[in-house]
A and B are shown apart, each in its own frame.
Chain A
């Protein structure tokens, strides 16, 4: 975390910011006073910047509240609640988070956020760079009538989120601010404007028809929603969000967000500087006059958009209604999957405009293809010392490498379980989809079933399916990874951390729900954990094992800070290390545990495993599992203070 970062608090100036940082700055200039979110890439860091600000400037806490919500539906309803007291609320989520939030949002959109304003930030992820799927969530905008703004630069992130709050308040509409992994995490210069403090307190004023979308109010609110969206549609040309780059070519381009950048550079590379371009800052709704005027002089229009064709469909609708004779070029030249790049857009535009393909790009692709099969894979995996990796090791041992066993995976770091060499996940659906799928499987198969879930996912939506599993006494084993953090998204606090000080625990919840077979284990004791899994699988009915061990990244950070502190005080600290001698190359540590701090080396024709001392976090699990006793433990400065990992 930066030390002398004044970018969120200085009144003016020009600073370098990430898209998400600029978005937060824009919120502070817009006087936002409530933020609720469940972390998810690429929007998690929005909450972290708010936390940083609240930590560094405690006085602001009276005006600005940030909540890490248990799930997206809770966050969305919480933001609506805040807006209905008359304040401005912000609700960031990742694209799949919108699926969870959609139930709440479908109603909130009807009701409208007034008297306050509400903006949702949806981090899209074309290319599935940090997600388990990619989807074009713009279709929700159409379904729920969420005006949708797509920024391209950090400056637009800041300026347009301010505008989004104004529009939300003025038109009584929830605004969808759609970023992407690229726009959220690209840096650029941002011109700052003065800050505005959010409202300290609001007041809810009773309005039964507005906030109760049930018959007959549901229909009335739907009619009112159409009126509100049409009013906004008329104003679009005055908002300054859409921009035309004039040109005389008879083929024009309509695009938005990050693809705009690729399109601009592609056209320049192809020397097509006479092509008219309409850059849409607002992709829903569209202003019919603005679109038809742009299309008027064109024979063809190229729609450049990632994922499923949304703009293509909406523009076709306008062309059809206006009885225009303009050919649409879109998904017949551009893929509906994965993210775009300048290279991809250049190649497609060369074909469309019948230009010679760009040799620099062709050569780059051809030479790369000539050697790409030699590139070793580097997929994400569990960190050195990860307690989840150690648990998977125990699962593999307890089930004789998953013999007659199904692993129903879930979302969290353990989503990586399916990667080789452990390959310890047979399926993944969505947050808490693992235990839910396991209930259905248990009803229809006699195979052994192990469902996985992390603590944060357990609180997100995992308790409800656990209650159902208790109700049906489903024959499955649920393993709950209690690592005390929402680790995958960058260690946000989860509900557990707020509540452990209040005597709260996952085992108490499990007992209260009525789990008939419950054990608490430690994954750094793999022999005991393996035994426990074996026992569970021999028992009929529902079993739960809670594996308690803090995320190794956080645990190691804490331990190293303790070591530094003690050393500063002049104390001697025990230094434990593990090394390998007399390795039999049985691959237990490399294929079953597969710790990334272990490497295979060859010296003088003799192969052996070696531990990278600078990457090992000294969890000792490899030492526990080596069947040949070849992994040795050495303690230097035995007389010094021992600093173990913290418990619980």
Chain B
């Protein structure tokens, strides 16, 4: 979905899929965009973005969030407030208990000396939540190898996200 991300704008992408197309055409997915309240999983590369797209969330939604904030120029100029992380957590907990934060940018910088791997680390965090059905880890690896530069590093980032994600999710369960 359009949003001029390269120019610091807010952007969101919707992914929808069904296992197989059914004969009754009225029962298939037809819109590329999710209906309000119908998202199963939010992968947020920045915390406040979860709120911005909150209209698509409901009690069935799981949230995974990169805790690194990008405040925007109005916050830096002290002309607007960035909501405290605790407040963001509280609002998201109003939807569901499944809210998981991880500092993926910091992990990316620490392990790869670049912030570029944050997105694959975030995808890694999303996988152990169990909210992405029908796709095996090897499927992700195949796609990374086929489409991305530095495939080895990206696969490493994915697994780093999965491993760190498992820790975060298991700590919550215990």
Q: Give A contacts to B, CB under 8 Å.
A: 2-4, 41-42, 129-130, 152, 181-182, 185-188, 245, 258, 260-262, 264-265, 267-269, 273, 341-343, 346, 360-361, 363-365, 367-368, 371-372, 374-383, 413, 416, 420-421, 553, 587, 590-591, 594-596, 598-600, 609, 614-615
B9 interfacial contact with A, CB 8 Å:
yes
Question: Of A376, A413, A553, which one neighbours B74 at CB under 8 angstroms?
Answer: A376
Cα distance A413–B4 in the bound complex, in angstroms: 11
For chain B, the count of residues having a C-beta within 8 Å of the partner chain is 56
Q: Which residues of B contact A587 (CB under 8 A)?
A: 77-78
Contact B37 A182 (CB under 8 A): no
Interface string of B32-73 (1 = CB under 8 A from A): 111111100000000011011011111000000000001111
Q: Which residues of B contact A378 (CB under 8 A)?
A: 8-10, 48-49, 52, 72
Contact B79 A421 (CB under 8 A): yes
- Not counting A182-B1, A261-B30, A596-B70, a sample of 15 additional A-B residue pairs whose C-beta atoms are within 8 angstroms of each other reads A185-B1, A264-B31, A265-B31, A269-B35, A343-B37, A360-B37, A368-B54, A374-B83, A375-B48, A375-B83, A377-B72, A377-B74, A380-B8, A413-B7, A553-B6
Q: Which residues of A contact B70 (CB under 8 A)?
A: 596
User: A182 with B33: in contact, given A368-B55, A378-B72 (CB under 8 Å)?
Assistant: yes
Q: Which residues of B contact A413 (CB under 8 A)?
A: 7
Contact A360 B38 (CB under 8 A): yes
B133 interfacial contact with A, CB 8 Å:
no
B101 interfacial contact with A, CB 8 Å:
no
Contact A261 B32 (CB under 8 A): yes
Q: Which residues of B contact A346 (CB under 8 A)?
A: 35
The majority secondary structure among interface residues of chain A is mixed
Contact B33 A376 (CB under 8 A): no
Q: Which residues of B contact A595 (CB under 8 A)?
A: 73
Q: Which residues of B contact A365 (CB under 8 A)?
A: 36, 55
Shortest Cβ gap from B159 to chain A (Å): 22
User: A600 with B75: in contact, given A41-B2, A361-B36 (CB under 8 Å)?
Assistant: yes
Greatest chain A CB density within 10 A among B10, B35, B48, B105 is at B35
Contact A600 B58 (CB under 8 A): no
Shortest Cβ gap from A397 to chain B (Å): 17
Contact B26 A360 (CB under 8 A): no
Contact B26 A264 (CB under 8 A): yes
| 8 sampled A-B residue pairs with Cβ under 8 A | A185-B1, A261-B33, A374-B83, A375-B51, A376-B80, A378-B9, A378-B49, A590-B77
Give the segment of B87-95, B122-130, B166-174 that binds chain A. Answer: B87-95
Cα distance A452–B79 in the bound complex, in angstroms: 26
Contact A273 B26 (CB under 8 A): yes
Contact B71 A600 (CB under 8 A): yes
Contact A375 B52 (CB under 8 A): yes
Q: Which residues of A contact B75 (CB under 8 A)?
A: 376, 599-600
Q: Which residues of A contact B10 (CB under 8 A)?
A: 378
Closest to B108 in A: A614
Cα distance A267–B25 in the bound complex, in angstroms: 12
Question: Of B2, B78, B91, B147, which one neighbours A2 at CB under 8 angstroms?
Answer: B147
Shortest Cβ gap from A60 to chain B (Å): 23
Contact B73 A371 (CB under 8 A): no
Cα distance A365–B73 in the bound complex, in angstroms: 28
Q: Which residues of A contact B1 (CB under 8 A)?
A: 129, 182, 185
Q: Which residues of B contact A614 (CB under 8 A)?
A: 105, 109, 114-115
Cα distance A268–B73 in the bound complex, in angstroms: 43
Contact A594 B73 (CB under 8 A): yes
Query: 5 closest pairs, A vs B, by CB?
Result: A364-B37, A380-B9, A261-B31, A343-B36, A186-B32
Closest to B54 in A: A368
B19 interfacial contact with A, CB 8 Å:
no
Shortest Cβ gap from A16 to chain B (Å): 10
User: A376 with B83: in contact, given A365-B55, A600-B71 (CB under 8 Å)?
Assistant: yes
User: A420 with B79: in contact, given A261-B32, A614-B109 (CB under 8 Å)?
Assistant: yes
Contact A377 B2 (CB under 8 A): no
Contact A364 B48 (CB under 8 A): no
Q: Give B contacts to A, CB under 8 Å.
A: 1-4, 6-10, 25-27, 29-38, 48-49, 51-52, 54-58, 70-83, 87, 91, 94-95, 105, 109, 114-115, 146-147, 149
Cα distance A606–B91 in the bound complex, in angstroms: 28
Closest to A374 in B: B83
Contact A342 B33 (CB under 8 A): yes
Shortest Cβ gap from A244 to chain B (Å): 12
Q: Which residues of B contact A600 (CB under 8 A)?
A: 71, 75-76, 78
Q: Which residues of A contact B55 (CB under 8 A)?
A: 343, 364-365, 368
Cα distance A374–B57 in the bound complex, in angstroms: 17
Contact A599 B71 (CB under 8 A): yes
Closest to B59 in A: A363
Question: Of A264, A380, A599, which one neighbours B76 at CB under 8 angstroms?
Answer: A599
Cα distance A181–B11 in the bound complex, in angstroms: 13
Contact B33 A341 (CB under 8 A): yes
Contact A364 B57 (CB under 8 A): yes
Cα distance A379–B74 in the bound complex, in angstroms: 9
Shortest Cβ gap from A572 to chain B (Å): 17
Shortest Cβ gap from A258 to chain B (Å): 8
Contact B71 A262 (CB under 8 A): no
Question: Of A42, A152, A341, which one neighbours B36 at CB under 8 angstroms?
Answer: A341
Q: Which residues of A contact B30 (CB under 8 A)?
A: 152, 260-262, 264-265
Q: Which residues of A contact B79 (CB under 8 A)?
A: 420-421, 591
Contact B26 A361 (CB under 8 A): no
Cα distance A107–B150 in the bound complex, in angstroms: 51
Q: Which residues of B contact A416 (CB under 8 A)?
A: 7
Closest to B52 in A: A375
Shortest Cβ gap from B31 to chain A (Å): 4
Q: Which residues of B contact A360 (CB under 8 A)?
A: 35-38, 58
Cα distance A382–B4 in the bound complex, in angstroms: 11
Shortest Cβ gap from A127 to chain B (Å): 9
Greatest chain B CB density within 10 A among A185, A367, A553, A594 is at A367
Contact A181 B2 (CB under 8 A): yes
Contact B31 A609 (CB under 8 A): no
Greatest chain A CB density within 10 A among B36, B79, B95 is at B36
Q: Which residues of A contact B76 (CB under 8 A)?
A: 590, 594, 596, 598-600, 609
Question: Of B9, B105, B149, which one neighbours A379 at CB under 8 angstroms?
Answer: B9
Closest to A131 in B: B2
Shortest Cβ gap from B121 to chain A (Å): 14
Contact A341 B9 (CB under 8 A): no
Cα distance A600–B71 in the bound complex, in angstroms: 9
Q: Which residues of A contact B51 (CB under 8 A)?
A: 371-372, 374-375
Q: Which residues of B contact A420 (CB under 8 A)?
A: 74, 77, 79
Cα distance A587–B74 in the bound complex, in angstroms: 11
Greatest chain A CB density within 10 A among B31, B55, B95 is at B31
Closest to A593 in B: B73
Contact A341 B54 (CB under 8 A): no
Contact B26 A376 (CB under 8 A): no
Shortest Cβ gap from A154 to chain B (Å): 10
Cα distance A371–B84 in the bound complex, in angstroms: 13
Contact B35 A361 (CB under 8 A): yes
Greatest chain A CB density within 10 A among B30, B57, B70, B82 is at B30
